[in-house]
Amino acid sequence: MTDASFPAPLRVALVGFGLAGRVFHAPLIQSTPGLQLACVVSSDPAKVRQALGEVEVVPTLDHALQRHAIDLVAIASPNDTHVALARQALAAGCHVVIDKPMAPTLAEAEALAAEAARCGRLLSVFHNRRWDADFLALRAAIGSGALGEVAELHSHFDRFRPQVQARWRERPGTATGLWFDLGPHLVDQALQLFGLPASVSADILAQRAGAQVDDAFHVILRYERLRVHLHAGSLVCNAPPRFAAHGSGGSWIKHGLDAQEAQLRDGLRPGADGWALDPSPALYRAADAEHTIEAPLPPGRWTDYYTGIAGAIRDGTAAPVTAASAIETMWVLEAAQRSTAQGCVVAL
């Protein structure tokens, strides 16, 4: 008999065990009180067991739903499978988490959200970079008024990957390419800070020899006086700052990427010594100051996402990322695609 003060954990089926499932979702689910990783849907049981031990591996979501009383389905499979798998999970009475992007198209995302509402089930998207250490610090700096009225934000996610890789993200297909890989992160962060822009202008392109899909982008979110520049490239061996924010009250700059992804890749888990700590401080200079000062960052908190999901399912509170906010990100993703195709500014 289960003690009412310690309810049975929510049983989770994780669909997909590529980079997203293996590095992000599985470790965070296993580290979250109140969640139990019941099974993994994968065509490669050996890879799953090498990483996770004796967790059950099943070949399809059908098998998972038939064999287990699943409460939550976490979808970390290729982007073109998100909608069909989410619908299947909702029809089975499960709550759903989808790795970004929510869907290949805005219309599919809106229909999926409506379906979840009809089913009375939680639908959330894994926009984990709301809890990057640098983004938490930037959000706090803007919220405190330290930058005054922000005039421009440069948000870069640059890497040096000159060789095209044989993986689905770099092959022609539905919702492949860098814009649908990194774009959702950068757009979601910008919307968390400033809301929806008035319009979008974009240049989404392929730069590497042999590239079959886009591998670089520069997208400008246009507000009344503010401009937000979202940039990613695959041929950047000396990266500019991850964030550079400038306003009437000062400037805030941060170099380097959040540490949590690299730590998870290296096998470090939440709660370990040094987890989510970024040793590289931000640089802040007030408009009336003579010198730039170092501003330490708080620890990153990717663990907040699944903790929030567990709480939302149990208590009926809002999800840490709502379907409505994920749909707003989809609006911008599609507007940028139209801007690139038409060579014009697209109004939202």
Classify residue 316: in a domain, yes or no.
no
Asked whether residue 174 falls in the same domain as residue 241, the answer is: yes
Q: What is the pLDDT of residues 187-242, one digit of tens each?
A: 999 999 999 999 999 999 999 999 999 999 999 999 999 999 999 999 999 999 99
In this structure, what CATH number is given to the domain that contains residue 287?
3.30.360.10
Task: Indicate the SS3 state at residue 239.
Answer: coil
Mean pLDDT, residues 143-151 = 98
Q: How far is CA 102 from CA 85, 207, 249, in A?
A: 12, 26, 36
Whose tokens are 């067991």? That residue is 49
In this structure, what CATH number is given to the domain that contains residue 93?
3.40.50.720
pLDDT for position 218: 98
Tokens of 264: 């998870």
- Our count of domains for the chain comes to 2
Task: Indicate the SS3 state at residue 211.
Answer: coil
Sign of dihedral through CA atoms 122, 322, 140, 246? positive
Asked whether residue 112 falls in the same domain as residue 137, the answer is: no
pLDDT for position 68: 82
The number of residues in the chain equals 348
Tokens of 44: 């490669």
Task: Indicate the SS3 state at residue 64.
Answer: helix
Classify residue 67: in a domain, yes or no.
yes
Q: Is the pLDDT of residue 3 over 80?
A: no
Asked whether residue 174 falls in the same domain as residue 290, the answer is: yes
Asked whether residue 236 falls in the same domain as residue 259, the answer is: yes
Classify residue 5: in a domain, yes or no.
no
Q: How far apart are CA 277 and CA 332, in angstroms?
A: 31
Range of the domain at 173: 129-301+332-347
Q: How far apart are CA 36 and CA 68, in angstroms?
A: 12
Asked whether residue 143 falls in the same domain as residue 292, the answer is: yes
Cβ–Cβ < 8 Å for 51, 22: yes
pLDDT for position 5: 59
Q: How far apart are CA 124 and CA 325, in angstroms?
A: 9
Mean pLDDT, residues 81-100 = 98
